[in-house]
Amino acid sequence: QTDATPVLAIERLRKSFGALVATDDVSLEVGTGELHALIGPNGAGKSTLITQICGEIRPNAGRILFEGRDVTALPAPARARLGLGRTFQITQLCPDFTAIENVLLSIEARHGGSFDMFSNPRRNAAHRELARDWLDQVGLAAQGGRTVAELAHGERRQLEIAVALARQPKLLLLDEPMAGMGAEESASLTKLLQSLKRRYAILLVEHDMDAVFALADRISVLVYGRVVFTGTVEEVRGHPEVRAAYLGE
Ligand code: ADP
Ligand code: MG
């Protein structure tokens, strides 16, 4: 394995649900430190692609290589342990737990998942400090003691990212993190992703084109399960067919 080995390489990934081909021979790569955005209309197969990459569903054909290693047959938890991190389109946080407790659960999961936060005071203190660091990194330093139920929508999204980061992933899979956000929340999440970019390889599914254009190194356009175009922001902006297919222009 060399530096040129992409963090993630998907080769001809195919998934059908009955007669519907949700991802149709999709190939794409995410390089070290790259933010690769995946755009496309509703039903294009973006979420189906993400769930195949993290291992929640199995492709019918094709391969998924993580740091050059074929993980196509590995179950999702094993992929997570290798550093394949994801956040969810639908929130999976524990609503009655505080922000810091949710991050602590994630840290404990990385350390074997005993969820026994209270047995070893020294380890507990160290993990609490770590959890505070992750909250700080996503801009939630002041919200650690609030329960998820008390957080604003945008803050929950930030917390989901802290929970994902606490697993120390090498690749972050983000499925529409800006969904349901107002302009201000989107702008602040864009800033956060800007600060994470380069340190992590990121595959970002997002409809907010301002965010995509601000963040992406490369953009892949998925339409009816097929990648119709992959290129830089400038190339996507200057490509009339892509603009027509995706941006509705
Ligand atoms: P996107 O995330 O781009 O909006 P999805 O990946 O959610 O698209 O869906 C792609 C297509 O696959 C859609 O037509 C959707 O209805 C279908 N689909 C997704 N998941 C399933 C499933 N579990 N069973 C049947 N059809 C599904
Ligand atoms: Mg989706």
Write out pLDDT tens, residues 31-86. Answer: 999 999 999 999 999 999 999 999 999 999 999 999 999 999 999 989 988 999 87
Q: Name the nearest CA neighbour of 79 among 198, 202, 171.
A: 171
Q: How sure is the predictor about 13, in pLDDT bands with cuts at 50, 70 and 90?
A: very high
Residue list, ligand 1 pocket, CB within 6 Å: 17, 20, 22, 40, 42-48
Whose alpha carbon is nearest atom 15 of ligand 1?
43
State the Cα–Cα distance between residues 143 and 164, nearest whole angstrom.
17
pLDDT at residue 1 tops 60: no
How remote is the CA of residue 45 from the centroid of ligand 1, in Å?
6
CA of 23 to the centre of ligand 1 (A): 9
Q: How many residues does the chain have?
A: 249
Q: How confident is the model at residue 120 (pLDDT cuts 50, 70, 90)?
A: confident
Cβ–Cβ under 8 Å, residues 218 and 236: no
pLDDT at residue 10 above 60? yes
Q: What pLDDT sits at residue 85? A: 85
Residue nearest to atom 17 of ligand 1 (CA): 22
Residue nearest to atom 5 of ligand 1 (CA): 45
Q: What is the value of pTM for the model shown?
A: 0.92
Q: How confident is the model at residue 3 (pLDDT cuts 50, 70, 90)?
A: low
Distance separating alpha carbons of residues 222 and 26, to the nearest angstrom: 9
Within 10 angstroms of residue 163's Cβ, the number of other Cβ atoms is 27
Confidence of residue 231 (pLDDT cuts 50, 70, 90): very high
Burial of 42 by CB count in 10 Å (0-12 exposed, 13-18 middle, 19+ buried)?
exposed
pLDDT at 205 over 60: yes
Hey, is 76 helix, strand or coil?
Answer: helix
State CA 185 to chain mean position distance: 18
For the CA of 57, the closest atom of ligand 1 is 23
Rounded Cα–Cα distance for residues 60 and 78 (Å): 20
Summarised one tens digit per residue, pLDDT across range 124-157 is 889 999 999 999 999 999 999 999 999 999 999 9
